[in-house]
């Protein structure tokens, strides 16, 4: 059996963002939260690993919502020195023809289970020897408000700076894992160290692609590359490993890795279509189970599925948990959520009313407003079939007018519907709010436009708290969905869905109508009239999906298929 002994050194896991705990503001969303869950599992398993990221002392974005839903995006600073140890290390990287100094901080991720540690090395350019521009580079995640050159500078620091820092710190790296293309410039540093031999670089590199959305794949003009990075390696060499027209981080990573993967089975198909000719594997994401299970379900699992924290496969035994235990634990977690919403948003939500949750980055393809497609239908269901209330959360990327508009739309819809459906929007979505929501709602709604959701992990967090998902068959839901057993689908089966041939308006209409049908005919009546069946479904989400959608299983797959091959 493959184990960490098959490694000749450390796994160096590079990620632009990581969500390790709520108040360490080095994450924006799914990519970072996944990185955090991954590193937590690496520590649990005692894998020899080190994580490289950026310190971003001004965080990502603090969201303030005005009366009409307009998002004000502020800096979100965190006290680095309270959480991290300053390392006595210094390297330089070339940016705009000068040597920029990079230093580092260390945050130790210590497993409560195994006592093992995986360090996160946070890169920092905010030092006196740098000029004021260079001091800005690592201050804020994804540098909202700055230009593309700033983004490229961040990627130079992560890829090239990170690799030099690891070297300086004495790490013997066996595998460089690029979690998304942001870190792909590390391949150039490795090329230089290996006499420009691509085979030697490929031997050491693995790459994970995380999104089918075109804009999620960084591309930089050659002119910009020339200005910011200079002739770090000859342009012709870069073109060979990227592509003719620009520096494309995904191509660079794919061409210089021995292994590449997508993050769900469906995403594999989509990625292979986007990047024909590349052998892209599929390792479905997971979540770190003990981190995302609410207190009441922790007690229930402790009683009925002993050993689940160390080994979430044990959750298959959730099939024996009695109805009352499930319902009591759920209601208790739901009350915590409702109390939070009522307190923080001045709402008057009711824990006995069917509660639907929807939280994710505010961006068009996630279709947060699909539920409001037809007010009459929605009103009709609420007034004649049964009451329901809806809780939203999510930030727009600062400066993304489209995303900000989505939030205002929800506010507007909520206002128009307020006599029939209670709709609330929780300000400043972060890991704490994500936890509360995925532990406390009754139904987790996820209706992205196909096939743009690579995986989605919030529905997995919900499943570990016995909460069924209601969603379009995209990302992980293609794998985790069993109709009327682990949740419900919206719209067609994957093989019947033809997103390339279907105009977006038509897809929206079909999906919205199915969403209403499901609510009207199945979900709302079952919640109020067939509690036994409802609890059966809750139990199945835990017993069927619990054994699989966790980062321990996922990390084993990375170890066996990516790191030690
Ligand atoms: C889990 C989580 C996400 C990822 O959720 P998706 O389902 O991928 O949208 C994003 N943000 C936060 C704060 C989370 O906790």
SS3 175: strand
Q: Is the pLDDT of residue 393 over 90?
A: yes
- Residue to mutate, 360, 365, 393, 477, ligand 1, most ligand atoms under 8 Å from C-beta: 360
User: What percentage of the chain exceeds 90 in pLDDT?
Assistant: 96
CA distances, 98 to each of 101, 133, 165, 229 (Å): 10, 12, 18, 10
Q: Give the pLDDT of residue 3.
A: 84
| 33 Cα to the center of ligand 1, angstroms | 7
SS3 334: helix
CA distances, 549 to each of 46, 364, 501, 543 (Å): 20, 26, 32, 11
Q: Give the pLDDT of residue 194.
A: 98
What is the rounded average pLDDT of the residues 431-452? 97
Ligand 1 touching residue 326 (CB < 6 A): no
What is the rounded average pLDDT of the residues 223-247? 96
Q: Is the pLDDT of residue 432 over 90?
A: yes
Ligand 1 touching residue 340 (CB < 6 A): no
183 band by pLDDT with thresholds 50, 70 and 90: very high
- Residue to mutate, 24, 26, 28, 33, ligand 1, most ligand atoms under 8 Å from C-beta: 33
Q: How many CB atoms lie within 10 A of CB 335?
A: 14
Q: Which residues contact 109 (CB under 8 A, 6 or more apart)?
A: 20, 39, 40, 42, 43, 51, 117, 118, 119, 120
Detail the DSSP E strand segments found in 332-449: 354-359, 388-393, 422-426, 443-446
Q: Give the pLDDT of residue 498.
A: 83
The residue whose C-alpha atom lies closest to atom 9 belonging to ligand 1 is 360
1 band by pLDDT with thresholds 50, 70 and 90: low
What is the rounded average pLDDT of the residues 229-233? 95
| 454 Cα to the center of ligand 1, angstroms | 12
| 467 Cα to the center of ligand 1, angstroms | 15
| 18 Cα to the center of ligand 1, angstroms | 12
**What is the H or E stretch that residue 495 is in?**
none
Average pLDDT, the chain: 97
Asked if the bond preceding 451 is cis, omega within 30° of 0, the reply is yes
The predicted-structure confidence for 118-151, as pLDDT tens digits, reads as follows 999 999 999 999 999 999 999 999 999 999 999 9
Q: Give the pLDDT of residue 129.
A: 96
The residue whose C-alpha atom lies closest to atom 8 belonging to ligand 1 is 456
Q: How many CB atoms lie within 10 A of CB 462?
A: 28
**Cα 232 to Cα 227: distance, rounded to the nearest angstrom:** 11
Which atom of ligand 1 lies at the shortest distance from residue 28's CA?
A: 11
Q: Give the pLDDT of residue 519.
A: 98
Question: What residue has token string 């995006």?
Answer: 73
Q: Give the pLDDT of residue 153.
A: 98
Q: Give the pLDDT of residue 300.
A: 98
What is the rounded average pLDDT of the residues 545-561? 98
Alpha helices in 417-523 (DSSP H): 431-440, 458-463, 477-480, 504-518
Is the pTM higher than 0.85? yes
**Cα 301 to Cα 307: distance, rounded to the nearest angstrom:** 9
Q: Is the pLDDT of residue 417 over 80?
A: yes
| 527 Cα to the center of ligand 1, angstroms | 26
Q: Is the pLDDT of residue 461 over 90?
A: yes
Q: Are 169 and 110 in contact (CB under 8 A)?
A: no
The predicted-structure confidence for 53-108, as pLDDT tens digits, reads as follows 999 999 999 999 999 999 999 999 999 999 999 999 999 999 999 999 999 999 99
Ligand 1 touching residue 294 (CB < 6 A): no
Q: Is the pLDDT of residue 35 over 90?
A: yes
Q: Is the pLDDT of residue 565 over 90?
A: no
The residue whose C-alpha atom lies closest to atom 12 belonging to ligand 1 is 29
Q: Give the pLDDT of residue 214.
A: 86
What is the rounded average pLDDT of the residues 490-506? 89
Ligand 1 touching residue 394 (CB < 6 A): no
Q: Which of 241-245, 292-296, 501-505, 545-549 has the lowest mean pLDDT?
A: 501-505
Torsion of Cα atoms, 346 then 351 then 355 then 358, to 10°: 50
């Amino acid at each position: 059996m493959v184990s960490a002994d098959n490694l000749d050194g450390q796994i160096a896991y590079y990620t632009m963002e990581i969500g390790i705990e709520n108040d360490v503001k080095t994450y924006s969303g799914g990519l970072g939260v996944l990185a955090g869950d991954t590193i937590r599992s690496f520590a649990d398993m005692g894998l020899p690993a080190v994580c490289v990221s950026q310190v971003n002392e001004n965080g990502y974005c603090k969201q303030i919502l005005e009366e009409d839903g307009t998002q004000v995006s502020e800096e979100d600073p965190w006290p680095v020195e309270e959480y991290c140890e300053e390392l006595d290390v210094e390297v330089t990287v070339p940016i705009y023809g000068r040597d920029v100094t990079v230093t580092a901080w260390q945050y130790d991720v210590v497993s409560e289970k195994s006592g093992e540690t995986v360090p996160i090395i946070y890169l920092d350019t905010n030092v006196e020897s740098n000029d004021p521009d260079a001091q800005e580079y690592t201050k804020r995640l994804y540098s909202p408000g700055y230009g593309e050159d700033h983004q490229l500078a961040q990627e130079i620091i992560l890829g090239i700076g990170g690799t030099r820092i690891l070297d300086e710190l004495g790490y013997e790296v066996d595998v460089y894992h690029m979690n998304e293309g942001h870190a792909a410039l590390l391949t150039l540093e490795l090329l230089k160290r290996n006499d420009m031999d691509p085979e030697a670089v490929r031997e050491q590199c693995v790459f994970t692609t995380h999104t089918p959305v075109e804009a999620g794949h960084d591309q930089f003009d050659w002119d910009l590359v020339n200005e910011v990075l200079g002739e770090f390696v000859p342009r012709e060499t870069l073109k060979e490993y990227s592509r003719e027209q620009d520096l494309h981080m995904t191509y660079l990573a794919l061409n210089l890795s021995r292994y590449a993967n997508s993050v769900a089975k469906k995403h594999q198909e989509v990625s292979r279509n986007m990047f024909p000719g590349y052998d892209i594997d599929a390792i479905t994401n997971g979540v770190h189970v003990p981190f995302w299970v609410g207190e009441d379900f922790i007690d229930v699992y402790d009683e009925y599925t002993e050993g689940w924290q160390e080994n979430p496969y044990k959750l298959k035994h959730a099939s024996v948990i009695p109805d009352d235990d499930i319902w009591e634990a759920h209601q208790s977690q739901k009350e915590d959520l409702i109390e939070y919403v009522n307190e923080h948003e001045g709402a008057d939500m009711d824990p006995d009313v069917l509660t639907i949750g929807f939280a994710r980055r505010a961006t068009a393809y996630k279709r947060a407003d699909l539920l409001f497609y037809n007010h009459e239908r929605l009103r009709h269901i609420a007034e004649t079939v049964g009451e329901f209330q809806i809780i939203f959360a999510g930030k727009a990327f600062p400066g993304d007018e489209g995303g900000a508009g989505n939030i205002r739309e929800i506010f507007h819809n909520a206002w128009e519907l307020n006599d029939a459906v209670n709709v609330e929007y929780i300000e400043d979505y972060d890991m704490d709010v994500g936890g509360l929501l995925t532990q406390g709602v009754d139904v987790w709604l996820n209706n992205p436009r196909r096939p743009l959701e690579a995986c989605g992990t919030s529905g997995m967090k919900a499943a570990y708290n016995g909460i069924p998902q209601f969603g379009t068959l995209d990302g992980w839901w293609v794998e985790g969905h069993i109709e009327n057993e682990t949740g419900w689908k919206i719209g067609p089966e994957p093989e019947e869905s033809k997103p390339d041939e279907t105009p977006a308006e038509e897809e929206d209409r079909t999906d919205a109508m199915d969403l209403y049908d499901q609510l009207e005919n199945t979900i709302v009546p079952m919640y109020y009239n067939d509690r036994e069946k409802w609890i059966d479904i809750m139990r199945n989400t835990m017993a069927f999906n619990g054994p699989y959608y966790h980062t321990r299983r996922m990390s084993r797959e990375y170890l066996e298929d990516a790191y030690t091959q």
